[in-house]
Amino acid sequence: MNSALNISCGQTTPTPTTVMLMTELLELDGQCKVLEIGTGSGYNAAFLAEFGGELYTVEIIPKLAKLAKRRLERLGYANIRYKTGDGSEGWEEHAPYDRIVVTASAEKEPVHLLSQLKPYGIMVAPSYTESGRQDLVTYCKRETVVVKYRIKGVRFVPITHDLEANDG
């Protein structure tokens, strides 16, 4: 079954094929320092921890953050650092990152996150098109420019900014 699953607090997981595609687009080599925005259930974080290297994951919903951390630690992932907070701000104190993946859609381009990406780094994130649909986009940062590649249409939950409204 290739469909998004409800996980709690009005959130869903991306489809398994989308998680695999996003992981593949990141071109992980086992040595990458990766920032994940939207830990959710921890499903995508497990992939990133397996193939990436060092993972920093941010979840805004405290209940989801706690459950994912407990689940991933129980599974033995020791290369993950956790933060509960607004992922749209990234995690500056550990920047720059080799790779960034965003698992929620935002109305605007993630410029602030791109500033935390190393030169020649890759970020994968859903992005709205002018027609209002969502596409999965790969951002490849060069020395002075960012090159964008639209990959395919996707559907992600909107990025959340309000901790109080989503603690359920």
- CATH number, domain at 14? 3.40.50.150
Number of domains in the chain: 1
Q: What confidence score (pLDDT) does residue 111 get? A: 81
pLDDT digits over 50-107, tens only?
A: 998 899 999 998 998 999 999 999 999 999 999 999 888 899 999 999 999 988 766 6
- pLDDT, mean of residues 26-48: 91
Q: What confidence score (pLDDT) does residue 150 get? A: 72
Distance of alpha carbon 24 from its chain centroid, rounded? 13
**Given the DSSP bridges, would you call strands 53-59 and 134-141 parallel, antiparallel or unpaired?**
unpaired
Measured between alpha carbons, how far is residue 26 from residues 4, 34, 99, 167 in Å? Answer: 21, 9, 6, 30
Residue 51 lies in a domain: yes
The CA distance from 133 to 48, in Å, is: 26
- Structural domain including 10 reads 6-152
The CA distance from 106 to 33, in Å, is: 23
Q: What is the pTM of this model?
A: 0.83
Measured between alpha carbons, how far is residue 44 from residues 22, 25, 146 in Å? Answer: 9, 13, 25
The CA distance from 38 to 44, in Å, is: 9
Residue 37 lies in a domain: yes
Residue 158 lies in a domain: no
- Closest to 49 measured CA to CA, from 81, 19, 80: 80
Q: Is the pLDDT of residue 167 over 50?
A: no
If pLDDT is split at 50, 70 and 90, which confidence band does 147 have? confident
Q: What confidence score (pLDDT) does residue 10 get? A: 54
